[in-house]
A and B are shown apart, each in its own frame.
Chain A
Amino acid sequence: EVQLVESGGGLVQPGGSLRLSCAASGFTFSTYSMHWVRQAPGKGLEYVSTIGGNGGSTYYANSVKGRFTISRDNSKSTLYLQMGSLRTEDMALYYCVRGGSSWYYFDSWGQGALVTVSS
């Protein structure tokens, strides 16, 4: 069974930094693209970032480009999202998501890590 468990969420001040982690199990982690998708309270889904299976390709939403960095450690089956220069509009539930065979759909989702940005 595919399991994705996020951690690292919490309260951070505007301008601060936070690193999210996602521990994956139940599948061969290195063979799948992985993604972060977020959802602000009461709002819809928003794409954040993507990384290929070997970590060689990364993509970012314009709203986070230059502030967030996605990475992975295939030896630990763990996905990361380093978030910097955080803004109040970054406050959301961040989902760790496994990509499908074509990368462009998301076939398994974690339960999310809540990031609160407030002074």
Chain B
Amino acid sequence: QSALTQPASVSGSPGQSITISCTGTSSDVGSYNLVSWYQQHPGKAPKLMIYEVTKRPSGVSNRFSGSKSGNTASLTISGLQAEDEADYYCCSHAGSSTFVVFGGGTKLTVL
């Protein structure tokens, strides 16, 4: 199973909004509303930011939002802050034979 496709890097200035895309296929992203997003700062464990496409865990800022259209899911971060600079990974259920598949990761730089 191939990884989901994410841009290698995105950047934005403080206060701006950015969107990270996550493109899969009709066998994963397109078939299930089971996309999640993780934030990982250098040397730290990943942190759940969005689950089931649009849901935010308790404690995650409402500046983070998720969506999906067809085979592509997206993570939008509004009002960029310096602390948002990190790597972001998407993940999707991909059927019982594969369980889940991750995207390759996107490095967000806050200029």
Interface residues of A (CB under 8 A from B): 37, 44-47, 50, 59, 61-62, 95, 100, 102, 104-112
Contacting pair B99 A46 (CB below 8 A)? no
Q: Count B interface residues, CB 8 Å.
A: 26
Contacting pair A95 B46 (CB below 8 A)? yes
Indicate which residue in A45, A105, A111 contacts B52 across the interface (CB closer than 8 Å).
A105
Residues from chain A with Cβ under 8 Å of B45 in the complex:
95, 109-112
* Alpha-carbon gap, A69 to B21, bound state (A): 34
* Alpha-carbon gap, A50 to B94, bound state (A): 14
Contacting pair A104 B105 (CB below 8 A)? no
* Alpha-carbon gap, A100 to B57, bound state (A): 10
13 chain-A/chain-B pairs, Cβ below 8 angstroms: A44-B89, A44-B104, A47-B101, A47-B102, A59-B96, A61-B99, A62-B1, A95-B46, A100-B51, A102-B34, A104-B93, A105-B48, A109-B46
Known contacts A45-B46, A105-B48, A110-B45, A50 near B89 by CB under 8 Å? no
